[in-house]
Amino acid sequence: MIASFLHRLFESASVPAAQCAGGFLPADVWTLCAVFAAVFGACIGSFLNVCIYRIPLDQSVVAPRSHCMTCGKLIPWYHNLPVVSYFALRGRCASCGARFSFRYAGVELLVAFLFLFVFCLWTPAGAAPPFGARPLLAPDSDGAAFSFAPLALVPVYWLFLSGLVVGTFIDLDHLILPDSVTIGGMVAGPVLSALLPAMQVRIGIGPDWEAGGALAPCLVWPTWWGSGLAWSLVGLAAGVVPLQLLRKGATWYFRRRGRIGPEDDAMGFGDIKLVGAIGAFLGWQAAVFSIAAAALYGTLVAVPLLLSGRRSLLSRLPFGPYLSLGALTWLFWGHRLAAAYLTLSSPWRVDPFRAAGTIAEMAVPLPL
Ligand SMILES: [Zn+2]
């Protein structure tokens, strides 16, 4: 049942790719690798729990080792296995019986699932993908060629999602987004994009030669390091510049109207840095999409709260988790949503972004 659920889920997110039908390695090998990806994700989730707890307290995430918050006893490794230990000990400390929040196991399960999802979607083109997922195409996946380009994206997206998870839960707990996540992402994004230009894959409009050269949505993959770096910086700017202007403007307006104190800001800078990090990792389209999706998700949560008269709860909700959810939506479904949008809308015949970005890049037709 789980396998069939995963099958359907991956099908909804992945781009159909006729070239993937061949099968390079036996499906069992990839399924085994996918299981390892999930187990690895649970272990990383366990570490992220430590980061979520300790980073806001300015404590080291490496030492000391995990201990019970109530009795202070060190937790031995066999009681610290991700997910498993929580259920084996029924969510309690083995020595004093204090309750641990279910959130620890929840974060481990979440990260395990995210790692599995990423692995299945970016399995090398030409391989038999696990659980029937149809991976995104890479530039050199022209039918017979076996490409490792998508597989190289897997650890990058694992790192990116780990940052989002840490940022989201710290924001929920403390209403802050730590610089180690936001500025860390704004630095790591351009560096990694130069090393792996395929990170800056985006949706464009190009001739579909199989359909007689008619214009159609396609994936555009940078293949030159300079192109990857440039698009990453464009993505960073696309996230930071408009929101920073909005923040300055809103602060000036609300200070003049006396709605906020002369030292207060109308908007948190942490959210802006987070969008910058999203743009630097996933490109300008992801930055724009994340802001729009976050506004939509925020509205979906805010309206029921306002209607039920819980206005005070609303003011305590941070914006970072919505932005993270928006970035996650783009990573898994964005290219498909954008292609569907472009197919439906007519005034896309001229695409200045693609015209400016075709140097050292490759367009791959995107069948819907
Ligand atoms: Zn204890």
17 pLDDT above the threshold of 80: no
**pLDDT at residue 142, as a whole number:** 42
41 CA → ligand 1 middle, Å? 26
Instruction: Name 221's bridge partners.
Output: 362
Q: Looking at the structure, tell me whether residues 104 and 252 fall in a common domain.
A: no
Q: Looking at the structure, tell me whether residues 13 and 160 fall in a common domain.
A: yes
Q: Looking at the structure, tell me whether residues 235 and 169 fall in a common domain.
A: no
Q: Looking at the structure, tell me whether residues 168 and 184 fall in a common domain.
A: no
170 CA → ligand 1 middle, Å? 24
**pLDDT at residue 250, as a whole number:** 85
- The number of C-alpha atoms within 13 Å of 251 and in the hemisphere containing its C-beta is 15
For residue 202, give the DSSP letter.
E
Question: Per the structure block, which two tokens stand in for 218?
Answer: 């396609």
1 CA → ligand 1 middle, Å? 37
Burial 115-134 (b: 16+ CB within 10 A, else e): bbbbbbbbbbbbbbbbbbbb
Is the whole-model pTM more than 0.85? no
The domain boundary, picked from 145, 174, 203, lies at 174
Report the domain count for the chain. Answer: 2
Q: Looking at the structure, tell me whether residues 156 and 219 fall in a common domain.
A: no
Q: Looking at the structure, tell me whether residues 352 and 313 fall in a common domain.
A: yes
Q: Looking at the structure, tell me whether residues 165 and 189 fall in a common domain.
A: no
75 CA → ligand 1 middle, Å? 9
The domain boundary, picked from 128, 157, 174, lies at 174
76 CA → ligand 1 middle, Å? 12
Give the SS3 label for residue 217.
strand
CA distance 5 to 269: 39
Q: Looking at the structure, tell me whether residues 157 and 199 fall in a common domain.
A: no
Q: Out of 39-53, 72-86, 134-148, 314-328, which region has the weakest mean confidence (pLDDT)?
A: 134-148
100 CA → ligand 1 middle, Å? 9
50 CA → ligand 1 middle, Å? 17
91 CA → ligand 1 middle, Å? 11
Question: Per the structure block, which two tokens stand in for 363?
Answer: 């367009």
Phi/psi at 66 (5° precision): -60, 135
pLDDT digits (tens, 9 = 90+) for 176-208: 999 999 999 999 999 999 998 888 888 777 666
Residue whose tokens read 């936001």? 182
Q: Looking at the structure, tell me whether residues 183 and 297 fall in a common domain.
A: yes
16 pLDDT above the threshold of 80: no
Q: Confidence band (pLDDT; 50, 70, 90) for 220?
A: confident
Q: Looking at the structure, tell me whether residues 246 and 157 fall in a common domain.
A: no
pLDDT digits (tens, 9 = 90+) for 133-151: 544 544 343 433 345 566 7
Domain residue limits at 226: 177-368
42 CA → ligand 1 middle, Å? 23
Q: Looking at the structure, tell me whether residues 134 and 164 fall in a common domain.
A: yes
Instruction: Name 99's bridge partners.
Output: 92
Count of beta carbons in the 10 Å neighbourhood of residue 179: 14
| DSSP state letters, 153-195 | HHHHHHHHHHHHHHHHHHHHHHS---HHHHHHHHHHHHHHHHH
The domain boundary, picked from 174, 195, 215, lies at 174
Q: Confidence band (pLDDT; 50, 70, 90) for 289?
A: very high
Alpha-carbon separation of residue 321 from 37, 61, 115, 311, 329 (angstroms): 24, 22, 19, 19, 12
Q: Looking at the structure, tell me whether residues 251 and 108 fall in a common domain.
A: no
